[in-house]
Structure 1
């Protein structure tokens, strides 16, 4: 493939352009800027809330719609227009809540419900506190999450520092639900995520590239670091996985970059686009 064919670069945030510091480091910003100056458009695709992703979007100087919540929410910051908002089916939300609240799981999990770009929780836990610090979002405590079920839910997140528990849950729920019923993924080892079955970063990037920009997959490069990036890595003409990505993600990538702390995204951009 001719690298000059790439017109769109889509970047994940956490573990890709932002590492431990929760900011984009100078070498990565410089590479993104150089790519833009060479005529490549930049987009952000994240599992984060729209509000939480906005500062990264502004920092990289993107002018395209922002893909948030794994693609369940696509909004254009220039006009504030929401182009896509897919919610988790109500029946599945209730079933997931019943599952999470089983006696052997309830105390081990922090449950987050995302509604209208707000975060609803039962109560504050250490995991939620760490999440809040990184995302900059003040959560709404409701005690019983069933109180929120009259509203449209964009994403369900279950957090636990026990990564084996997250893996076990993902495995068991993937047996319970077909991909036509729920999209289930991990964005980091401690985050189990569920969205509308039609929502993932692959369908979101396809929509952005083909419907909005009139591009083809071979005009797109994507960079991500975890299972929620898999679909967009597979979709793109050049799909790059970060060095810290799990093996199950790296095997589908066209190239594996160094880790986020080694500014791997900058190295990938310079290799393929500059």
Structure 2
């Protein structure tokens, strides 16, 4: 089956450790596009920190952000698909997390807001190149009728591994909880994930599941890797992700995305 759509995670997949895209990867993506293949990004990041990479690659299709809670046109920012966490539920979760002594920040389209800034927020702002606002979260949420795209809890991996089952038990199917990095516990609306969003995008483009390749490295990529006709795990992926993938490529430092595209997508 010919691959007509490639979806790539951003951090630790498309991006090298220094948050740049290697020339080989850029060349492979551009060659695929020249052959008529649609290429998109599927990330947990917010749109504003995804857009520069979409522009660099010349992507002409919608991109998946917030782990699938939002699909936007890459450059214009027009929203095609949005599933926020209801404000009341988001407020309950944020206060619950705070009482347990954990740091959390919320996402409202292209805004990131935290109750109190600390070393976790400073590190996140550096990695994602975004500004984090400090404000009263319950107050902000009370004024936000539509809800929020995402709640991110940042902490030590052992603490997050204890927190996740507690949140799952309490909030059940109302939210989807996943991890993108060892220190990031990501919470989005319960009916969406990268796999759901990728399926919606493929349908919009008239592309079958078997004609989709998805490339990722972490737990938040699992659903799209399972959905795709060809699921690819990076060489630096968690072992649990490699076990679920059809193919394991090279690491993000070894141009793994380019390797997968060159071997399974490019024609001639």
- Please say whether Structure 1 and Structure 2 have the same fold, judged by a TM-score greater than 0.5: yes
Distance 1:19 1:168, change over 3 A: farther
Match of residue 19 from structure 1: 16
Match of residue 125 from structure 1: 118
Q: Does residue 1:169 correspond to 2:163, yes or no?
A: yes
Provide the C-alpha distance between the structure 2 equivalents of 1:45 and 1:116, rounded to a whole number of angstroms.
Answer: 16
Provide the C-alpha distance between the structure 2 equivalents of 1:92 and 1:245, rounded to a whole number of angstroms.
Answer: 32
1:121-175, Cα deviation, whole Å (9 max, x unpaired): 1222112111111211111111x31121121211000011x11111111122223
Question: Which secondary structure state, in structure 1, belongs to the residue aligned with residue 148 of structure 2?
Answer: coil
Residue number among 219, 223, 228 corresponding to 1:227 in the alignment? 219
Q: Does residue 1:59 correspond to 2:87, yes or no?
A: no
Question: Which secondary structure state, in structure 2, belongs to the residue aligned with residue 59 of structure 1?
Answer: helix
Provide the C-alpha distance between the structure 2 equivalents of 1:25 and 1:34, rounded to a whole number of angstroms.
Answer: 14
Q: Which runs of 5+ in 2 are unaligned?
A: none
Residue number among 26, 29, 32 corresponding to 2:29 in the alignment? 32
Distance 1:78 1:257, change over 3 A: same
Q: Does residue 1:158 correspond to 2:153, yes or no?
A: yes
Provide the C-alpha distance between the structure 2 equivalents of 1:72 and 1:269, rounded to a whole number of angstroms.
Answer: 26
Match of residue 209 from structure 1: 202
Q: Which runs of 5+ in 1 are unaligned?
A: none
Q: Per-residue deviation at 1:267?
A: 1.1
Number of positions where the alignment pairs a residue of Structure 1 with one of Structure 2: 263
Provide the C-alpha distance between the structure 2 equivalents of 1:240 and 1:196, rounded to a whole number of angstroms.
Answer: 25
- More divergent stretch after superposition (34-43 vs 70-79): 70-79
Question: Which secondary structure state, in structure 2, belongs to the residue aligned with residue 43 of structure 1?
Answer: strand
Superposition pairs of residues 1-274 of structure 1, within 5 angstroms: 2=1, 5-102=2-99, 105-106=100-101, 109-142=102-135, 144-149=136-141, 150-151=143-144, 152-160=147-155, 162-179=156-173, 181-210=174-203, 212-274=204-266
Provide the C-alpha distance between the structure 1 equivalents of 2:241 and 2:126, rounded to a whole number of angstroms.
Answer: 27
Question: Which secondary structure state, in structure 2, belongs to the residue aligned with residue 251 of structure 1?
Answer: helix
TM-score, normalising length: structure 1: 0.92
Moved over 3 A (4+): 77-80
Provide the C-alpha distance between the structure 2 equivalents of 1:55 and 1:271, rounded to a whole number of angstroms.
Answer: 27
